[in-house]
Structure 1
């Protein structure tokens, strides 16, 4: 790290990972993640990337440097110290945006394209479903819906939706 950039107080250290390498992770004064490996070399602008963000979000996270090279592979986030896990999860939350659909309020038509009024974990919105092919089945019971603008919305468990939402959704599946 450069001497002219002061470090912030957010520092998290892990004794070792599954690979056996000790490392530290912290934020610099600009809010960027700084990774320091066992060799003491620091990498600024590190980004955590999930291997399976929908089906196994807590398993398989890589720390990638600014050039796109993997610095560290983390098998399970839960195996890390709480402070380190919180720091990585905070960065992942800032980076990832897949709103989760909580309910389907209404649809304009049962033929496509149709306008859906939905409630997500980030608020209510409307999406345009161009065709039934824009609803992708993931590992059961999850669905991924792409709207006409290329945004993706997740239904983690379609069976957990309310009866009205399930009825509307079943017309398109």
Structure 2
């Protein structure tokens, strides 16, 4: 049976000498090397975060990062950034072909890059305007709002949807 703790100001997060995240709960119990995992990483990235131990057991639950102290929220965000890699596509510059597989050249929030799209099925809808694009290496690229892309990007994307 797992005990779920609602995190508030009665806990502390700290890094040990190896850089691992440790949680000390209100009862003083130390939970070493915890990892944050988002319940809804795309639609609600700041809410519903579980802190799990190395064996995958939940040791704490964070309803919202906004309810944490600044230092604890910063540690959780820092840990999440180190674990998650999902660049957001800002513009689609070009594609080598409208038949798959093809190479896409894109601008992302992490800089320009190219990736290979294996098939149209690697573009998935998440909600009404959000898309998740997977490349041939399993890296996921997010298009947060397909309707806010520039005209050229929309034209290319429409050929694949």
- TM-score, scaled relative to structure 2: 0.92
Segments of 4+ in structure 1 off by > 4 A? 17-21
Residue 20 of structure 1: how far off its partner (Å):
6.8
Q: Distance in 2 between matches of 1:20 and 1:86?
A: 14
User: Aligned equivalents of 1:25 and 1:37: distance in 2?
Assistant: 9
CA distance in 1, matches of 2:118, 2:64: 37
In structure 2, the partner of 1:153 is 141
In structure 2, which of residues 122, 125, 132 is the aligned counterpart of residue 134 of structure 1? Answer: 122
Equivalent in the alignment of 1:169: 157
Does residue 117 in structure 1 map to residue 105 in structure 2?
A: yes
Shift of 1:22: 2.4
What secondary structure, in the 3-state scheme, does the structure 2 residue paired with 1:88 have? helix
What CA RMSD, in Å, does the superposition of the two structures yield over aligned residues?
A: 1.5
Query: Which structure has the greater CA radius of gyration?
Result: 1
Partner of 1:53: 41
* Unmatched 5+ stretches in structure 2: none
What TM-score do the two structures reach when normalised by structure 1? 0.85
Aligned residue-pair number:
157
Give me the whole-angstrom Cα distance separating, in 1, the residues matched to 2:128 and 2:143: 10
Say which SS state the counterpart of residue 90 (structure 1) adopts: helix
Q: What CA distance in whole angstroms lies between the structure 2 residues aligned with 1:32 and 1:21?
A: 21
Tell me the equivalent position of 1:75: 63
1:50: how far off?
A: 0.4
Q: Is there any run of 5+ residues in structure 1 with no aligned partner, and where? A: 1-16
Which of 53, 77, 101 is equivalent to 1:89? 77
